[in-house]
């Protein structure tokens, strides 16, 4: 049931696309469009009158129609107290003001609905009690930026408020050097290039992001460089000018360069080359063992907030990423080594 004592709501205004298939139940449709909200919670919100269709309350069984306008309010429960947990962390660097951690894949960065424990923040709270306090009522102490759960690599964490403010300013003003490595389906037309395009919610699937018209999203720029060619796959180095949600994955997929193993954006199937026999079995085995996208935040560089010194950090590719590279080099005829 919704938390009726809550005075905070997550609000959504959705319009069913005119080409949408009719006949989907209201609760099922909303569950497919709204992140981190279960169908049970949506059903409860509908029952409490927090959902309207074209301005009217409807039951969960209502079948949505093309053009329907859906207004949804999901009550936000107060988060439970976040507690320190003894979680192994790969600390790359640490001083009195900040630390860098090499986050493993499958680790959520900060606590949220469905992940109140086992997160990077829980582990950081065990490691140190000097994390900067969030300015708002959130549970993200010390966190300056984020990586998706299934993306591995470097994150910088602030240990005091001054450092947090300075680092946050660096990210806003693009004074951070960030490079990622990714294995992608396909081959870019040029060895180096730039991808631009505003990123916003996918109008057909609210759980995904997409390249959208400029007035519907936030501008984004991604630079790429080819490091290694394989048969129908490529190892890329990517540099971000902006830090939009799922930016690399969305920009690449929009250019028919799906990140290998990416379930959300279509990289978990054979996109190029023959899909038969031993090759199909090889990739089926790879997807079964990988369980995430081949995307790693490899380097991070910035001016140290206290010393003013330019610092740059590098992280090794994790074992699963190296294993995939080894398999491709053995079976897919590499053409160029970085």
Q: Active-site residues: which are they?
A: 148
Q: Residue 221 in 3-state DSSP?
A: strand
Q: Which has the closest alpha carbon to 328: 227, 233, 225?
A: 233
Residue 135's contacts (CB-CB under 8 Å, 6 or more residues apart) are none
What secondary structure letter does DSSP report for 143? B
- Of residues 68, 35, 36, the one with CA closest to residue 51: 68
Environment class of residue 105 by beta-carbon count within 10 Å: exposed (0-12), middle (13-18) or buried (19+)? Answer: buried
* Cβ–Cβ < 8 Å for 108, 119: yes
Cα distance between residue 316 and residue 208, in whole Å? 29
- 333 with 231: CB under 8 angstroms? yes
Tell me the two tokens of residue 68. Answer: 């329907």
């Amino acid at each position: 049931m919704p938390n009726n004592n809550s005075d905070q709501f997550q609000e959504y205004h959705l319009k069913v696309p005119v080409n949408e298939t009719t006949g989907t139940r209201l609760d099922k449709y909303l569950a497919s469009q709204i992140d981190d909200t279960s169908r049970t919670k949506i059903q409860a919100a509908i029952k409490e009158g927090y959902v309207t269709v074209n301005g009217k309350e409807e039951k969960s069984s209502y079948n949505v129609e093309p053009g329907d306008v859906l207004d949804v309010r999901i009550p936000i429960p107060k988060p439970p107290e976040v507690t320190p947990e003894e979680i192994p962390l790969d600390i790359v660097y640490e001083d009195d003001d900040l630390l860098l951690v090499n986050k493993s894949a499958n680790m959520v960065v900060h606590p949220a609905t469905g992940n109140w424990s086992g997160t990077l923040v829980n582990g950081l709270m065990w490691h140190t009690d000097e994390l900067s306090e969030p300015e708002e009522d959130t549970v993200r102490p010390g966190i300056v930026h984020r990586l998706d759960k299934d993306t591995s690599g470097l994150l910088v964490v602030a240990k005091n408020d001054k450092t947090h403010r300075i680092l946050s300013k660096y990210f806003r003003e693009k004074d951070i050097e960030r490079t990622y490595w990714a294995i992608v389906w396909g081959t870019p037309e040029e060895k180096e290039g730039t991808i631009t395009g505003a990123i916003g919610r996918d109008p057909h699937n609210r759980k995904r992001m997409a390249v959208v018209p400029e007035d519907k999203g936030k501008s984004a720029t991604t630079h790429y460089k080819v490091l290694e060619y394989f048969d129908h796959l490529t190892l890329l180095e990517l540099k971000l000018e902006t830090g939009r949600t799922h930016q690399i994955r969305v920009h690449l997929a929009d250019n028919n360069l799906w990140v290998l193993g990416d379930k959300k954006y279509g990289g978990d199937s054979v996109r190029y080359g023959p899909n038969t026999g031993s090759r199909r079995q090889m990739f089926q085995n790879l997807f079964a063992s990988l369980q995430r996208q081949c995307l790693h935040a490899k380097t991070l560089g910035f001016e140290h907030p206290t010393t003013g010194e330019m610092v740059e950090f590098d992280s090794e590719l994790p074992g699963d990423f190296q294993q995939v590279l080894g398999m491709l080099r053995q079976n897919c005829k590499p053409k160029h080594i970085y």
